[in-house]
Amino acid sequence: MNVLSASTDATRKKTVRWVIAIAAAALLFDGYDLVVYGTVVSSLLRDPTQLGALDAAQAGALGSYALMGVMVGALTAGAVGDFLGRRKMMLINIVWFSLGMAFTAMATSVPAFGILRFLTGIGVGALVATAGAVVAEFAPAGKRNFYNAIVYSGVPAGGLMASLLAIVLNGVTDWRGLFMIGALPLVILFPLACLKLPESPRWLLARGRTEDAHRLSVKTGIPLQDKATEGPASDAAASSGTVAPPPAVGKGGRELAGFAALATGNYRTPTILLGLMSFCGLLLTYGLNTWLPEIMGQHGYGKTYSLTFLLALNAGAVIGGLVASRSADRFGPRAVVATTFVIAAAALVLLTFDFPLPVLLVAVAFAGVGSLGTQVLVYGFVSNYYPTPARVAGVAWCAGFGRLGGIFGPLVGGFLISARAPSHVAFIVFAAVALAGGLVTVFVRRHRNSAAGVDAAVVDAAEVDAAMTGAGPQGSGHRSA
């Protein structure tokens, strides 16, 4: 098996830092793209000279178009990502969503705006689906939930950035300027990713390119196999949810890849449940991010105060997601995700009471922990739940099916506002969705660490090392087990 020397360990840490930074930056702008609409929707509703006349139901539909694109992009990434590779998918979609944001900023009508939001969403969805696989295959096993939280916290951090810029640039630029900021990755992030983002050695190995995988493993310091654990160590791994996922095997004992792997006996029911978890998390995320400023505005809070609630929501998601990820690495993501869903439900119920502003801001922050903060943990849970040949497909399914919730969230909010329902009704509906998400989570089956599984991991690792030895001299920091 691969044993990392001090120099190889330093190389690995450097590689991981670059990979995590690039993936997090990509999702930062993804989050910006998806939340910036919520910061300008009130202006578009009140100023028909921008795109044309809009009512709340139409605005909710516009908010959902991007999420429909995200669903298409995520599912497309699942279909091709496990075959094209992690690096190509990241680079293609950084360019895609950047161009989408630039063209959306130039839209002059409601139909053009909606179509461009849909097309931009395709790039966003593919990135969201690919990022989880990238983290799972580069990050060390004991820190994957934490690193995953750092990367996916880019989404609420992007929402935070959108909220801050909407406040700071109010009166300086209009919605077009805010959308044009979302195109900056094309000139900043894409060149950096071309230089610093490597292909995943584990993906190369899973595709049968053993020599290429070995060479890249030596160059990047990323091992081709996690160290197998036995006894107490493996028990700890089982409790924390870090047990290596079993292969998805079809008829005749052939290991399956992509979406076909998700339909096998080991993964069929968990895949449905993980998709429902994501559905609930994203319904909360996009329902609140789209309509929270408008709902609080109806309570008498001006534009700046309403945007401050959006700021609190996303700040809570960033901080809470990072804190909760530490617990997920220690206790396992399932228990932590269920708990944060319940926190969201309690916080949303508190928003139905007439508390002072500071109390409402704290409640909104905890709602952020339990909505987008929870979704960050869900992506980490999913990306580590599936084996390498099915990893992008698993995250893509979670992101894609979950986007149905993201689509319904703005539509539900728009429907309730159009029907002039009291604001507390919307919060009660969202609280019920959070409770449903927590209930679904507790039924997801854990992977069990069996002696046979450990033996298989050792045999597989030995075969990898044997292949490496046959392919050429061992690189620095590698030896046979």
pLDDT digits (tens, 9 = 90+) for 447-467: 765 444 433 333 343 343 444
What is the C-alpha separation between 373 and 276, in angstroms, rounded?
16
| pLDDT of res. 205 | 84
| Averaged pLDDT for residues 464-474 | 40
Token pair recorded at residue 456: 């298989």
- Tell me how far apart the alpha carbons of residues 446 and 439 are, in angstroms, rounded to a whole number: 15
Neighbours of 294 (CB within 10 A): 21
> Which range in 192-206, 317-331, 412-426 is most confidently predicted, on average pLDDT?
192-206
User: Over the stretch 315-358, which tens digit does the pLDDT of each residue have?
Assistant: 888 888 888 888 887 888 888 999 999 999 999 988 888 788 88
Residue 428 in this model has a pLDDT that exceeds 80: yes
CA dist., res. 291 & res. 304, Å (int): 15
C-alpha to C-alpha distance for 455 and 128, rounded to whole angstroms: 34
Residues 466-470, mean pLDDT to the nearest whole number: 41
pLDDT of residue 466: 42
Question: Which residue matches tokens 């401050």?
Answer: 308
Share of the chain above pLDDT 90, in %: 14
* Location of structure tokens 């300086």: 172
Q: Looking at residues 39-55, what average pLDDT do you find? A: 77
Residue 295 pLDDT > 70: yes
Q: What is the pLDDT of residues 131-150, one digit of tens each?
A: 877 887 888 877 777 888 88
What mean pLDDT value characterizes the chain? 78
Predicted local distance difference test score (pLDDT) of residue 339:
92
Q: Is the pLDDT of residue 303 over 90?
A: no
Residue 255's φ and ψ, nearest 5 degrees, are -75, 130
Q: Worst-scoring range by mean pLDDT, 95-104, 289-298, 394-403, 444-453? A: 444-453
pLDDT of residue 306: 67
What digits encode the pLDDT tens for the residues 219-271?
Answer: 888 887 765 433 333 434 444 445 677 777 777 667 777 777 787 777 888 88
